[in-house]
Chain A
Amino acid sequence: MIDLHGYGPSIFQGAILTIEVAVLSLLVALFLGLLGAIAKLSSNPIPRAIATVYTTVIRGVPDLVLMLLIFFGGQMMMNEFSDWLYEEFDIDVFFNIDEFIAGVVTIGFIFGAYMAETFRGAFQSVNAGQIEAGYAYGMTRWQVFSRISFPQMMRHALPGLGNNWLVMLKTTALVSIIGLADMVRLASEAAKAVHEPFTFLIPVALVYLSLTAVSELLLNRLKIKYSAGTTRA
């Protein structure tokens, strides 16, 4: 274990936290992205409009502003809610917005918009004949989705998903601003305390670089898996 003036273990904990935030946000983003893509491709104009507003607005505003809005705004809403509970029902509770949950929800919510665009494009590039053939076989809508559209869509979506993931991994650094003790926050605090910024921040940068490298490796594996049955031109 690298000691780093005694800060090593805690920064290592921070690195684990960074990975946790990234992976959980990815799950939220994938879920919202699929939902958004299905809504965008729906024949019903209402979900289509909601999804369009979602992807347009979120992608037009900086991540940090959204994060501050959800974190501070969410806290204020919770405060008002607990005031209301106290006045109406005499229930005295205080809700505190957890930085971890706020971070995961915000990053997942932001990247859900990017994922939705990726998935939408990928769904559209699945050959319509494949889907018609599925229905002709008597498959239900869910069966067509899970057996035909989804697996073929993934091949087209993978490069975009990979990109989104790599951007998202770096965006997790922003959770340090709303007070979550991820490795960037711990390292920058240690750097200020010991007056040796490079000692702490260079290792953090290297952790990000190695996470990127490992992700690229895994993405390549996935690419091979989802490219089964296609030949390279």
Chain B
Amino acid sequence: MMEAFLSLFADNSIFNPPTLMHYWSGFVTTVQLVFLSLLIGFVISLPLAILRTSKNKWINLPIWAFVYFFRGTPLLVQLYLIYYGTAQITGIQQTFLWDILSEAFYPCLIAFVLNTAAYTTEIFRGAIEATPRGEIEAAKAYGMGAAKRMRRIILPGAMRRALPAYANEVIFMLHASSIASVVTIVDLTGAARDIYARYYAPFEAFLFVAAIYLCMTFTLIYIFRKVEDKIMAHTKPLS
């Protein structure tokens, strides 16, 4: 088994251990970027989605504008704005913030977080607004206050309804993260670009990385399908 594996790599000059290690570190960076931006984006988007359904226009209008801007412009432009923009804020280079922002990883993470937060807010808003009227009326009839209603009735149902769209957003984020390679971050795509440049082998470098992304996508689809089956079990027919 091991010998067959080794002989596979024996007669090619590109996929040697250093190259594979380069891909591996790219993989780690991609996973870190995607996982962190989804996690932080989720935490931000939940309160935003709830506030977005508020009837007070001073509350919901700024959130609408935030979502509209980040959904209506390319992620690449947002990344450039944050990556080049933060460096130009006067005085920032003298503060502790600069230690963080001068590395490409963090501006990139900020751009991804804001982007996914905007998309996720919109997904959750739709799910919250789709709550059946009867559920809310029943909760009111039980004497639940607004907060308890939100926590016990609206959010659990909304999370379930949002799941398919959220799964799409996760895959979208995985694919979008390849843009990080543009601002010198060596993620999976960045590693492929390095290896393309080193060996001048576009097919090997990019097809290999495409296969990795494909496997990651299928794994995510599989996981979300399992979760969906579990969560939506009560909506399935009995047989």
Instruction: Give chain A's interface residues, CB within 8 Å of chain B.
Output: 57, 59-66, 68-69, 72-73, 75-76, 170-174, 176-177, 184, 187-188, 191-192, 195-198, 201-202, 204-205, 208-209, 212-213
Contacts and interface: CB of A to CB of B under 8 A. Distances in A.
Contact of A64 (B77, B179, B218): B179
A174 B85 CA distance: 19
A209 B69 contact: yes
B77 A197 contact: no
Q: How large is the interface on B (under 10, 10 to 19, 20 to 34, 35 or more residues)?
A: 35 or more
Contacts of A69: 202-203, 206-207, 210
Contact of B73 (A66, A172, A205): A205
Contact of B182 (A59, A62, A177): A177
Interface string B86-103: 011000000000000000
Contact of A192 (B78, B84, B206): B84
Given A173-B76, A208-B73, 13 more contacts: A60-B218, A62-B175, A62-B178, A69-B203, A73-B203, A172-B74, A173-B75, A173-B77, A188-B80, A195-B88, A205-B78, A209-B69, A209-B73
B5 to A, nearest CB: 25
B181 interface: yes
Given A62-B189, A76-B203, A198 B81 contact: yes
Contacts of B175: 61-63
Q: Which 9 A-B pairs have the closest CB atoms?
A: A173-B74, A72-B202, A197-B84, A69-B206, A62-B178, A62-B175, A60-B217, A170-B74, A73-B202
B68 interface: yes
26 contacts: A57-B214, A62-B178, A65-B178, A65-B189, A65-B210, A65-B213, A68-B189, A69-B202, A72-B202, A73-B202, A73-B203, A170-B75, A172-B74, A174-B76, A184-B76, A188-B80, A188-B84, A191-B84, A197-B81, A197-B85, A197-B87, A201-B80, A201-B84, A209-B69, A212-B72, A213-B72
A90 to B, nearest CB: 25
Contacts, number: 111
A170 B84 CA distance: 20
A27 B182 CA distance: 28
A201 B202 contact: no
Interface string B172-207: 001111110110000001001100100010110011
A204 B214 contact: no
Contacts of A202: 81
Contact of A76 (B78, B81, B202, B213): B202
Contact of B178 (A64, A172, A184): A64
A208 B72 contact: yes
Contacts of B213: 60-62, 65
Interface of B: 68-69, 72-78, 80-81, 84-85, 87-88, 174-179, 181-182, 189, 192-193, 196, 200, 202-203, 206-207, 209-210, 213-214, 217-218
A61 B210 CA distance: 6
A213 B73 CA distance: 11
Contact of B69 (A75, A171, A205): A205
A205 B214 CA distance: 31
Contacts of A174: 74, 76, 179
A209 B70 CA distance: 10
B192 A68 contact: yes
Given A65-B192, A197-B88, A60 B214 contact: yes
A170 B88 contact: no
Nearest to A212: B72
Contacts of B214: 57, 60-61
Contact of A72 (B68, B206, B210, B218): B206
A205 B217 contact: no
Contacts of B78: 205
